[in-house]
């Protein structure tokens, strides 16, 4: 084998056979194994065979990686990478010398995984998670784990980003588990599910968004009576408290305290009303909420039946006599009622409805036929709420009203009558699910409030820092603001807030250096 020509022909022949096998053809592995053993014995393997073998391998997988990452769906690409790694391991087992293993596997990993990390994650990670294709997600982890910390870090970042942009979905997942009607799990299984959701929660940056939506959902569960378990609610609250501290959960804890205090207030009110005439013989429960603990609800007006108005006046007088200096502001958006009555042949039913639904239905005690404008005039319910209410009563699965024309939308020229052919096997029927449904306006409003709160927190941090330091350079002020605030903020936003504080004269620029700020006492 000292003749170079013979040596080259032998090595080129070996490389050609290996190339054929990589294309899927069947070759004589025993022949290759014997030839490579001969090269090793003649001390030609490392000097003459290994370099061109690794070079051809590099070219093959570099070209294959570039092509397949563009043409294959992500899960298919991952399967191809796994197959290629398995094939090269087989070659090492059958005929390639083990001294080549580290370099050979590194070439495959580098050209099929490392060079395409960003493309793999950007092209398919979110899709795979959204579609619950966890086998493929697990394969990403296994492949990225092979290339070390760089792969794991990028995967962790991709997962964190996935969670970040889905803060609202995270709160909805918790809400679905804690809401009554969740038949999926026992209390023990529910605890395990909440623990898993908490793991996802740790990846969320800007937990104030989660808090705002969680608070809104919790309020609905508590006020509409849709919480599956008080124990589960308090368990989740404890988990959040352990994770984020007292400040994060203080308002949420205040909501639970309000509900407990409301029970005591209503016990005292019932004792107060004992022996007195109750307007309309109506049983009522009033939740007295501390404004700072609960989500902000828009002030809405509605015309209540005389009996409810009188009962409201009696309770207001009773409460203010016990708590001087306080003010009650009635909120109707989450009120719910239990109406008893019949629509057909005096078959008595009980309807669980929202207050708005109750106000609309009660109109038909005195009217057989009402237009949209008639309903609005009699109730003074705002347009958006009235449309949702009528839609739920006339176009839902359970239709207590008939609508003309009969279609899936509510318009101002529609007319409504009672559905006197209504039938249902249950005595008590739930209609008030409309209150639990999110509207785009609610989500937008909640997000806007979070943004506004962040502005206040940035302003407060800047003023706090300047009050302590008196004089501070712009770069140092920016650095300290970022260190103090825990939610994600941009440099541009902090600059805007600083300009706002300059305009409002909380601070000023130094006369000697425009990049230095001075606190204005």
Q: Is the pLDDT of residue 271 over 60?
A: yes
Domain of 348, CATH number, reads 3.30.230.130
Task: Tell me: do 115 and 10 sit in the same domain.
Answer: yes
Task: Tell me: do 139 and 44 sit in the same domain.
Answer: yes
Inside any domain, residue 453: yes
Q: Is the pLDDT of residue 114 over 90?
A: yes
Task: Tell me: do 227 and 206 sit in the same domain.
Answer: yes
- Per residue in 458-467, pLDDT (tens digit) is 899 999 999 9
Task: Tell me: do 187 and 110 sit in the same domain.
Answer: no
Q: Which of 438, 471, 501 represents a domain boundary (last residue)?
A: 438
Q: Is the pLDDT of residue 431 over 90?
A: no
Task: Tell me: do 52 and 119 sit in the same domain.
Answer: yes
Task: Tell me: do 32 and 121 sit in the same domain.
Answer: yes
Task: In whole angstroms, give the CA distance from residue 409 to residue 394.
Answer: 10
- Above pLDDT 90, what percent of the chain? 46
Write down the residue that tokens 């124990």 correspond to: 231
Instruction: State the pLDDT at residue 1.
Output: 43
Task: In whole angstroms, give the CA distance from residue 392 to residue 351.
Answer: 13
- Asked if 463 and 520 count as a contact pair (C-beta separation under 8 A), the reply is no
Domain of 505, CATH number, reads 1.10.10.10
> Given pLDDT bands bounded at 50, 70 and 90, which one contains residue 161?
confident
pTM exceeding the 0.85 threshold for the entire prediction: no
Inside any domain, residue 258: no
Inside any domain, residue 479: yes
CA atoms within 13 A on the CB side of 399: 17
Task: In whole angstroms, give the CA distance from residue 149 to residue 509.
Answer: 45
CA-atom Rg of the chain in angstroms:
35
Instruction: State the pLDDT at residue 162.
Output: 77
Inside any domain, residue 428: yes
Domain housing 446: 441-519
Q: Is the pLDDT of residue 16 over 80?
A: yes
Using CA atoms, how far residue 507 sits from 464, 472, 476, 501, 514, in Å, is: 11, 11, 15, 6, 12
Task: Tell me: do 99 and 181 sit in the same domain.
Answer: no
Q: Is the pLDDT of residue 436 over 70?
A: no
Q: Please report the DSSP string for 378-425 in residue order.
A: HH---HHHHHHHHHHHHSSSS-SEEEES-SSS--TT-EEEE-TT---S
> Given pLDDT bands bounded at 50, 70 and 90, which one contains residue 113?
very high
Q: Which of 116, 131, 160 represents a domain boundary (last residue)?
A: 160
- Per residue in 221-246, pLDDT (tens digit) is 888 878 878 888 888 899 888 888 88
Inside any domain, residue 478: yes
Q: Is the pLDDT of residue 372 over 50?
A: yes
> Given pLDDT bands bounded at 50, 70 and 90, which one contains residue 81?
very high
Q: Which token pair is 77?
A: 């690409």
Inside any domain, residue 324: no
Task: Tell me: do 413 and 454 sit in the same domain.
Answer: no
Domain of 23, CATH number, reads 1.20.1310.10
Nearest to 20, CA basis, from 68, 91, 74, 80: 91
Task: Tell me: do 87 and 12 sit in the same domain.
Answer: yes
Task: Tell me: do 68 and 116 sit in the same domain.
Answer: yes
How many structural domains comprise the chain?
4
Write down the residue that tokens 């949702």 correspond to: 388
- Outline where 72-148 has alpha helix (H): 74-94, 101-112, 117-120, 126-130, 134-146
> Given pLDDT bands bounded at 50, 70 and 90, which one contains residue 477?
very high
Task: Give the end-to-end CA distance of the chain in Å, rounded to a whole number.
Answer: 91
Task: Tell me: do 28 and 136 sit in the same domain.
Answer: yes
- Our measurement of the distance from residue 115's CA atom to the centroid of its chain's CA atoms, rounded to an integer in Å, reads 31
Residues 6+ apart with CB under 8 A from 22: 60, 87
Q: Is the pLDDT of residue 78 over 50?
A: yes
Q: Is the pLDDT of residue 500 over 60?
A: yes
Q: Which of 438, 459, 481 represents a domain boundary (last residue)?
A: 438
Task: Tell me: do 149 and 10 sit in the same domain.
Answer: yes
Averaged confidence pLDDT in the chain? 87
Q: Are strands 369-371 and 415-418 parallel, antiparallel or unpaired?
A: antiparallel
- Per residue in 289-342, pLDDT (tens digit) is 998 899 888 788 899 999 999 999 999 999 999 998 899 999 888 888 999 988
Q: Is the pLDDT of residue 10 over 80?
A: yes
Inside any domain, residue 299: no
């Amino acid at each position: 084998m000292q003749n170079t020509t013979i040596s080259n022909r032998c090595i080129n022949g070996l490389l050609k056979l290996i190339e054929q096998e990589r294309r899927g053809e069947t070759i004589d592995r025993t022949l290759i194994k014997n030839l490579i053993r001969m090269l090793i014995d003649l001390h030609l393997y490392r000097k003459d065979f290994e370099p061109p073998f690794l070079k051809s391998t590099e070219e093959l997988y570099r070209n294959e990686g570039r092509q397949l990452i563009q043409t294959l769906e992500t899960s298919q690409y991952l399967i191809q990478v796994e197959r290629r790694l398995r094939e090269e391991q087989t070659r090492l087992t059958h005929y390639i010398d083990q001294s080549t293993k580290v370099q050979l596997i590194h070439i495959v990993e580098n050209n099929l995984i490392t060079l395409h990390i960003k493309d793999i994650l950007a092209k398919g990670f979110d899709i795979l998670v959204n579609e619950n294709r966890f086998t493929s997600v697990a394969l990403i982890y296994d492949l990225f784990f092979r290339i070390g910390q760089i792969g794991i870090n990028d995967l962790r970042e991709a997962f964190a980003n996935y969670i970040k942009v889905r803060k609202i979905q995270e709160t909805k997942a918790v809400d679905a588990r804690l809401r009554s009607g969740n038949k999926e799990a026992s209390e023990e299984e529910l605890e395990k599910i909440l623990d898993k959701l908490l793991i996802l929660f740790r990846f969320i940056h800007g937990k104030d968004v989660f808090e705002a939506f969680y608070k809104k959902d919790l309020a609905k569960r508590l006020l509409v009576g849709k919480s599956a378990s008080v124990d589960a609610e308090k368990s989740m609250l404890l988990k959040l408290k352990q994770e984020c501290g007292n400040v994060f959960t203080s308002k949420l804890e205040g909501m639970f305290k309000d509900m407990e205090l409301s029970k005591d207030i209503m016990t005292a009110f019932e004792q107060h009303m004992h022996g007195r005439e109750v307007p309309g013989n109506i049983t009522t429960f009033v939740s007295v909420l501390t404004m700072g603990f609960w989500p902000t609800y828009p002030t809405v007006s509605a015309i209540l039946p005389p009996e409810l108005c009188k009962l409201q006046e009696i309770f207001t007088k009773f409460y203010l006599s016990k708590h001087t200096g306080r003010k009650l502001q009635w909120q109707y958006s989450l009120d719910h009622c239990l109406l008893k009555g019949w629509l057909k042949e005096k078959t008595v039913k009980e309807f669980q409805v929202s207050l708005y639904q109750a106000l609309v239905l009660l109109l038909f005690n005195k009217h057989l036929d009402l237009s949209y404008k008639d309903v609005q005039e009699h109730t003074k319910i705002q347009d958006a709420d009235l449309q949702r209410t009528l839609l739920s009563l006339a176009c839902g699965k359970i239709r207590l009203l008939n609508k003309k024309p009969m279609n899936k939308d509510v318009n101002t020229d529609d007319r409504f009558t009672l559905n006197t052919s209504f039938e249902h096997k249950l005595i008590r029927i739930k209609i008030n699910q409309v209150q639990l449904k999110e509207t785009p306006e609610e989500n937008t409003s909640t997000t806007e409030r979070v943004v506004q709160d962040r502005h206040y927190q940035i302003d407060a941090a800047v003023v706090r820092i300047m009050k302590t330091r008196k004089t501070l350079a712009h770069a140092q002020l920016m650095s300290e603001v970022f260190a103090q605030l825990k939610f994600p903020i941009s440099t541009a936003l902090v600059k805007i807030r600083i300009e706002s504080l300059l305009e409002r004269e909380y601070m000023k620029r130094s006369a000697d250096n425009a990049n230095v700020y001075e606190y204005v006492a």
